[in-house]
Structure 1
Amino acid sequence: MATETKQDTDGDIKMADGNDTNTHQVSHDVKKGNLLEIDATRDITSAEHNLGFWTAVKQYPTAIFWALFFCISVIMAGFDAQLITSFYALPAFQRRFGYEYEGEYIIPAEWQTALGMGNPIGQILGALASGWPLERFGRKKTLAVCCVWSSIFVFVQFFSTSIGMLCAGEMLGGLAYGFYVVIGPVYASEVCPLALRGVLTASVNLAFVIGQFIAQGCAAGLESRLDEWAYRGPFAVQWLWPIILLAGLPFAPESPYWLVRQQRKEDAKKSLMKLSSAKHRPDIDSVLLMIEETDLLEKELEATTTYLDCFRGVNLKRTEISVMVYLIQVIGGNPLIGYANYFFEQAGLKSADAFNMGVGNTALGFVGTCLSWPLMSYLGRRTIYNSGMALMTTLLFIIAFLDFGRSNTAVVWTQASLMDVWTFVYQMTVGPICFVIISEISATRLRGKTVAIATAVQAGASIIFTVAIPYMLNADQANWRGKAGFLFGPVSFFCLVWCWFRIPESRGRTFEELDILFERKVPSRKFSTHNLLDTDANETA
């Protein structure tokens, strides 16, 4: 049994026999895995485990509000990504920026590719650039600057007179989206207790779906218009989100984890006070101590917080998991959701029917994400994610094989309906659980950078499919239609195999416990059953 330790209120570590030692003296033991329990947080950790969902709601109502408030920024990212691709099936947009082909107007594949690049390229550059300002200036100030940036480039999109100008507006405006998809899950994971962490981080996916749903609704509502307001109107809606955020940010509490890392303990305490209920307030000093202990442990395990540290030691596995669960969103078939309207139209549905199916597609996504919340109360992250991957893989193969009978109208509607079912399964499992996993698996000191790396890799893959999908689906190109399932299906299957071996169960574990589990190199499939009191455990991943 390793020598037990505890921490006094000044932050110095004491050995069980009462002799003081500083953190540098014990760092060697920490890195060896011997000092992987801190008795000072044992009771706090137990209290976290015993805290029920509804009790947590009573204790942290403002934390819930502010976590959801920060997710408004993610609505912008989902809105823009869905809006521009839905325009490819919008008659007014086709006539203004497309060309006539066999009696119909279409947007050339190369321009579809260029327009679709704005969001993913912006996410790559913005995500990688977000690490430094998030750590230097905090979550609030960084988000405020991004809101101003977005507002400026919505003007470029709104007043575009050519497809090239519109493309430039998408590219430059997209830089902020990389920040948004990092800030949302990072902030949500840092302001809520264990009992609320899954639901609030999953809300990031709900924000994406809400953005997609609003974009689909705007496009469907204006589908019959043939003037420029059919596409300018939806662009103007994008000014709404920055206004709401900029009005509320001055009152938002900063992340207590970030404040502790900035040596601003009193400000962190004030932030926790704002995040909790005055009537049902938890022991703030204990919560603050657990945050400090988690930060202390991670300091001992990794001395610095650079991007390179995300690929060192046990953080390499944590980064791998975060990157892969986010990457699977793209390579597992999600790009078809973005092209849902166009996919339905190419499958043989009329324009109005395609837009109606598109609205239904995002509505099912909304319901699916909401259903993921109760699922997380009964099932683990690993179970939900793997089950979703298995169902999605099966559906993709069925959609692909149905395409051989597309001359039958009933088959076309079945194919389109199965695409909606696929979206429902995705948004109930892989979509929201992805954000829960990346928010929980990454180390707190490296969370912003880990999420940024995962976002950049995911956006990089999105660029590849942004180039490929127009050529796969366009009638004047490959014209694959539902046969795209033959590409995504096998990829999804291999991703399922990876998920089985590599995704750990993080449900019911505090950030400190997860640090210990990774440091002990516990195999991913044993995270849920590993006994943390067994300090002699020395399993290899």
Structure 2
Amino acid sequence: MAVDMEKTEHTHEVEHDADAVFAEKAGVADYKADAIEAENAEHNMTVLEAVKAYPMASFWAFVMSCTIIMESYDVFLIGQFMALPAFVDKYGIINPATGEKVIATKWQSALQVSGQLGALIGVFLAGPLTSYIGYRWATLFALMLLNAFIFVFYFGDSLPVIFVAQLLEGLPWGIFIANAPAYCSEIVPIQLRAPATQMLQMFWAIGSIIVGGVTYHYQFFTSSAAYRVPIALQWMFPTPLALLIWFAPESPWWLVRKGRLDEAAKSVQRLGRKTQVATGETVAMMRRVIEMEKSVKPPSHIELFKGTDLRRTLIVCGVYAAQNLTGNLIANQAVYFFKQAGVSTDLAFALGLITSALQWIFVMLSWILTTYYGRRSIYLWGSAVNTVLLVALGIAGSVGGGPAASLAQASLGLIVSVLFTLGPAPASWVIIGETSAIRLRPLTTGMGRATYYIVEIPCIFLASYMLNPTGGNLGGKCGYVWGGTGLFCLIVAWWGLPEMKNRSYREIDIMFKRRIPARKWKETVIDVNDDE
């Protein structure tokens, strides 16, 4: 009798286990079917339909992108201080060749590099911090830090103190610049990833426009207000943005990674219209990708350099590094470049303001280009045109002096700065937001931006030396140098940059795992049922 009871219990256990396995398979099948339906729905949306379905996603991407204004504002502000008469009179030294005051080359380079050194530290903090507490809380923390560090900059009264102030301000910049492209790419559907991440370049241009207008007004002031007021205006940004971001939804992708599926569903509901977005199916699509990338280990920087993630890391780092090697530093030092090209101070500040305004317009034009022509083609063609123009700038700087040569250099410098924001710059932000694996995204964007700063720091010293009258005094001839580095970046991008337009994160994961060559991505078809 006891034996029969044991057999019966064993039979029930087997049946129970079989039922559990069957239920699990059925659940996986249902969840995959929902995921496929959500992915197909995103693929079939037009850009306008995506905006209508996810209006609040567009709004919150806009808000998060505003954090970039602060780094842009200060980067351009320090660059323009090099040409601001009151600042130069206070902190400059006499140039023996001309008898005029200039900021010493070492301090010119140091001040422009100090914020980037702080940001380099900030981006390494951003990855682990965001992975642990999320995009929302990490950004709020950085905004409060920036509020405090602006005090150091405002009350600083020597070049060493200003250097330290910029270093401190760079810490929150690093968090903003690492988190913003990742957050924007995660909260919007496929068709909106390009305009949502390209907004970052638009707000970079807006920061430079504000600086251009402020410094153009204060260039005539002889008191310390000429540079104190522009510094104080930084306080316009952190607190209002913090109040907005307090109400922002967390990235549903981050919540799914943490297993908080109910909260992820609520986040999706807040990002889209209830009547047009199938919340359960959208979360299922996210779960499918997260399961593909699942690991028993917590995300770490070491993983960025292993297996297929190494290729993804190299693409993000390469695109970031190229921003400093294709003429971007001319844009960051536009006013100072125009002065060294031989134009008057008043015209140099006016051209700087015009450059910033045109950059803003051209970034918006780039939304149309990336929607219809993709990332790879725009990046390559834009980089090619910029390389040719940089060489032309070098030629203009070699043909002798005179008003005509000065205006030619100034004009080409303006064109290079503007066209950079039509092609390579905005396309870069889209590529950065799409390339990394979801699981490693905060770490990858942080590592990429770190590469940007590591490359930028020596480039700033080089750019300052080339332009400064007490240094190389090359003027427009610096176009030869940036043209050469730009050509190198163009060749590397042609070989290694894939086209990710209209690809879901699942498809991107699979294509990297299959090691498909970059030039074959466009024609490669991935079956909607594939789950490798």
Q: Same fold (TM over 0.5)?
A: yes
1:137 lines up with 2:137 in the alignment: no
User: In 2, distance between residues paired with 1:351 and 1:522?
Assistant: 52
Q: Deviations over 1:244-281 (max 9, x none)?
A: 11211221111101111111111111111111124x43
User: In 1, distance between residues paired with 2:136 and 2:503?
Assistant: 27
Q: 2:503 aligns with which of 496, 499, 509?
A: 509
User: In 2, distance between residues paired with 1:474 and 1:346?
Assistant: 8
Q: Which runs of 5+ in 1 are unaligned?
A: 1-13, 27-36
Q: 1:367 aligns with which of 335, 344, 361?
A: 361
Moved over 3 A (4+): 17-23, 37-40
Q: 2:203 aligns with which of 207, 210, 232?
A: 207
Q: CA RMSD in A?
A: 2.2
Q: Deviations over 1:443-479 (max 9, x none)?
A: 1111110010010011011110122222111111110
Matches within 5 A, 1:170-189: 170-189=166-185
User: In 2, distance between residues paired with 1:22 and 1:514?
Assistant: 27
User: In 2, distance between residues paired with 1:417 and 1:453?
Assistant: 35
Q: 1:5 is matched with which residue? A: none
- Secondary structure at the aligned position of 1:238 is classed as helix
Q: 2:404 aligns with which of 406, 410, 424?
A: 410
Instruction: Give the CA deviation at 1:179.
Output: 0.5
Q: 2:287 is matched with which residue? A: 292
Q: Is the CA contact (8 Å cut-off) linking 1:406 and 1:412 kept in structure 2?
A: no
Identity %: 33
1:57 lines up with 2:57 in the alignment: no
Matches within 5 A, 1:19-418: 40-101=34-95, 102-278=98-274, 280-299=275-294, 304-418=298-412
User: In 1, distance between residues paired with 2:119 and 2:214?
Assistant: 24
Q: Deviations over 1:265-301 (max 9, x none)?
A: 11111111111124x431111111101111111116x
- Secondary structure at the aligned position of 2:516 is classed as coil
User: In 1, distance between residues paired with 2:238 and 2:402?
Assistant: 46
Q: 1:431 aligns with which of 425, 436, 439?
A: 425
Q: What is the TM-score of this pair, normalised by structure 2?
A: 0.92
User: In 1, distance between residues paired with 2:408 and 2:398?
Assistant: 13
Instruction: Give the CA deviation at 1:213.
Output: 1.6
Q: Is the CA contact (8 Å cut-off) linking 1:202 and 1:432 kept in structure 2?
A: yes
Instruction: Give the CA deviation at 1:38.
Output: 5.6
User: In 2, distance between residues paired with 1:525 and 1:470?
Assistant: 37
User: In 2, distance between residues paired with 1:21 and 1:464?
Assistant: 56
1:519 lines up with 2:513 in the alignment: yes
User: In 2, distance between residues paired with 1:376 and 1:525?
Assistant: 18
Letter in 2 for 1:283: A
Q: Deviations over 1:92-122 (max 9, x none)?
A: 0000111222232110011111111222111
Instruction: Give the CA deviation at 1:535.
Output: 9.2
Q: Is the CA contact (8 Å cut-off) linking 2:327 and 2:417 kept in structure 1?
A: no
Q: What is the TM-score of this pair, normalised by structure 1?
A: 0.91
Q: 2:457 is matched with which residue? A: 463
User: In 2, distance between residues paired with 1:22 and 1:211?
Assistant: 53
User: In 1, distance between residues paired with 2:185 and 2:172?
Assistant: 21
User: In 2, distance between residues paired with 1:332 and 1:374?
Assistant: 22
